[in-house]
């Protein structure tokens, strides 16, 4: 297919490239190829700081703003700043109170689809993330990553005033309270 023909499908809305696993369809073969990494689990881009892995180089680049501290997206209500536009969008649900995702089992409502997905593990009991060292299982990948600091001893969060280091961001934040009071 010529570049012009491929480009024109963006305008016509024709989605002739279909995923064989789920119902999603795409206008370009390259978009389907990227999408397939969701199903295969292929993540060839690795953060050199925290070892998180990504399917696309763009996602790694966006992730790096977490480590650099760059926060160019500001809330127009409370001025809180975020590294990514998606974080700001999620944050805005605090101000709007919008909760458009509902648990089909207990009817609890959530602002974010991911929060509902995590909540569902309460009902299913699914713990699909396992520690490779002690075999303890977790409902969330983030909880497993936090758990791994027990085994590695890694303390990536440093106090900018003193010399103390912490394994968890929350512990650093708690430590900082007396400094900022």
* C-alpha–C-alpha distance, residues 144 and 164, integer Å: 23
**Domain CATH number, residue 156:** 3.30.160.60
Q: Flag whether pLDDT at 161 surpasses 90.
A: no
- Asked if residue 112 belongs to a domain, the reply is no
Average pLDDT over residues 5-19: 78
- Asked if residue 142 belongs to a domain, the reply is yes
- Asked if residue 76 belongs to a domain, the reply is no
Residues 63 and 47 sit within 8 Å (Cβ to Cβ):
yes
Domain that residue 34 falls in: 3-40
Q: Flag whether pLDDT at 51 surpasses 90.
A: no
Higher-scoring residue by pLDDT: 169, 10: 169
Q: How many domains in the chain? A: 2
Q: How many residues does the chain have?
A: 181
- pTM of the shown model: 0.48
- Asked if residue 139 belongs to a domain, the reply is yes
* C-alpha–C-alpha distance, residues 131 and 138, integer Å: 8
The strand pairing partners of 101, in sequence order, are: 110
- Asked if residue 26 belongs to a domain, the reply is yes
In the chain, pLDDT over 70 holds for what percent of residues? 97
Q: Flag whether pLDDT at 130 surpasses 60.
A: yes
Residues 116 and 110 sit within 8 Å (Cβ to Cβ):
yes
Supply the pLDDT for residue 92: 92
3-state class of 74 per DSSP?
strand
Tokens matching residue 159: 């106090």
* C-alpha–C-alpha distance, residues 107 and 103, integer Å: 5
Residues 39 and 22 sit within 8 Å (Cβ to Cβ):
yes
Average pLDDT over residues 1-29: 80
Average pLDDT over residues 49-60: 86
- Asked if residue 90 belongs to a domain, the reply is no
- Asked if residue 170 belongs to a domain, the reply is yes
Q: Flag whether pLDDT at 181 surpasses 70.
A: no
Dihedral of CA atoms 167, 170, 172, 173 in degrees, nearest 10, equals: 170
Q: Under 8 Å CB-to-CB from 131, ≥6 apart: which residues?
A: 137, 138, 144, 147, 148, 151
CA neighbor of 1 nearest in space, from 16, 19, 21, 20: 16
- Asked if residue 166 belongs to a domain, the reply is yes
Q: Flag whether pLDDT at 2 surpasses 80.
A: no
């Amino acid at each position: 297919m010529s570049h012009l023909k491929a480009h024109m499908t963006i305008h016509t809305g024709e989605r002739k490239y279909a995923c064989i696993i789920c119902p999603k369809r795409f206008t370009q073969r390259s978009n389907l190829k990227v999408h397939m990494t969701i199903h295969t689990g292929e993540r060839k881009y690795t953060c050199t700081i925290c070892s998180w892995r990504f399917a696309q180089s763009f996602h790694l680049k966006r992730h790096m703003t977490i480590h650099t501290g760059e926060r160019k997206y500001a809330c127009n209500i409370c001025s809180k700043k975020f590294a990514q536009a998606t974080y700001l969008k999620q944050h805005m649900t605090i101000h709007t109170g919008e909760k458009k995702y509902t648990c089909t089992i207990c009817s609890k409502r959530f602002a974010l689809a991911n929060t509902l997905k995590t909540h569902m593990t309460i009902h299913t009991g699914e713990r699909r993330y396992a520690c490779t060292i002690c075999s303890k299982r977790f409902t969330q990948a983030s909880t497993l990553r936090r758990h791994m600091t027990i085994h590695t001893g890694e303390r990536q969060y440093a106090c900018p005033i003193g010399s103390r280091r912490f394994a968890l961001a929350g512990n650093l934040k708690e430590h900082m309270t007396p400094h900022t009071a």
